[in-house]
Amino acid sequence: MTQLGIITDLNRCVSCLACVVACKQANDVPVGNFWLKVLRIGPNLKEGATSYPDVEMYYLPMSCQHCENPLCVEVCPTGASVKQEDGTVQIDKQKCIGCQFCVMACPYGVRYLNEEQRVVEKCTLCEQLTSQGEGLENRGDKIPRCVYACQGRARWFGDFDKGLEDFQGSLKADGVTNYRLIEELPDKELVVKPFTEDEVYRLPDAGNDPVGRFILRKPRKWRS
């Protein structure tokens, strides 16, 4: 089994929007539309605080979650939306009639109608890159553009069925291209800081079983 997806370390995201720009450029996303957005959550009062400015906030990159039981696939009348063997949810534009049932069914609002082509579009996890070759080992830049462009080492791409150890980021340093999410390096600032299982979240589940994961160590305002 394979379930490709992205883990985002929300404690590292600073909303630089490099991921958004890279996504739009790589996938020719129309002006006014996005496959990836970065939402600001907060500011909220810190735990135990009673007044401002004792607040906290974080940024939440939002894109297709490539759900295990995607509602968009269930409602599609033509079979244009499909769950593929690699676990990603893709759209066959030859079958899409632009009815937008999938847009209305998506719990996260990450699909839109391309007005010019009259077909629905969304994040593909850069399938044109990730489908090249076999496995995820030594893929270099064959990873989603949002992961490749992330200068804060906040986004990681891999196969959930292989565990978190499989996830890679791509910020280049010391001649190394692909860093692992769980990896020991001499410079501890180059890797994700420790986290526990209860600090790994998913977006709210509407029966669709979202695949994407988010690491959030502190603030406690958001619950899975």
* CATH number of the CATH domain containing 133: 3.30.70.20
**DSSP letter (8 states) at residue 173:** B
Q: Does 222 map to a domain?
A: no
What is the residue range of 47's domain? 4-215
Rounded Cα distance between 160 and 204, Å, is: 18
Any domain includes 135:
yes
pLDDT given for residue 213 in this prediction:
97
* Cα–Cα separations (whole angstroms), residue 10 to 32, 34, 103, 154: 25, 20, 26, 7
Tokens (6 digits) for 93:
């534009």
Contact 224, 201 (CB under 8 A): yes
Lowest mean pLDDT among 80-84, 115-119, 163-167: 163-167
pTM comes to 0.88
User: Could you give the residue ranges of the DSSP H alpha helices within 58-196?
Assistant: 71-75, 101-105, 127-130, 145-148
> Using CA atoms, how far apart are residues 222 and 216, in angstroms rounded to an integer?
9
Average pLDDT for the chain: 87
Residue 190 covered by a domain: yes
Find residue 81's DSSP bridge partners: 91
pLDDT of residue 219: 55
Alpha helices in the chain (DSSP H): 18-27, 71-75, 101-105, 127-130, 145-148
Non-local CB neighbours of 130 within 8 Å, separated by 6+ positions: 4, 86, 139, 142, 143, 144, 157
CA angle 21, 158, 71 (to 5 degrees): 80
How far from 136 is each of 3, 34, 91, 124, 197, CA to CA, in Å?
A: 12, 26, 23, 17, 24
Lowest pLDDT segment from 82-86, 100-104, 145-149, 150-154? 150-154
Reported confidence tier of residue 187, pLDDT bands at 50, 70, 90 = low
C-alpha to C-alpha distances, 53 to 4, 48, 57, 152, 187, nearest whole angstrom: 40, 13, 12, 26, 34
pLDDT at 191: 63
Number of domains present in the structure of the chain:
1
In a domain, residue 168? The reply is yes
223 domain-assigned: no
Distances from the Cα of 23 to the Cαs of 27, 129, 132, 220, in angstroms?
6, 12, 18, 30
pLDDT given for residue 1 in this prediction: 78
State percent of the chain over pLDDT 70. 85
Residue with tokens 């929300």: 10
In a domain, 191, yes or no: yes
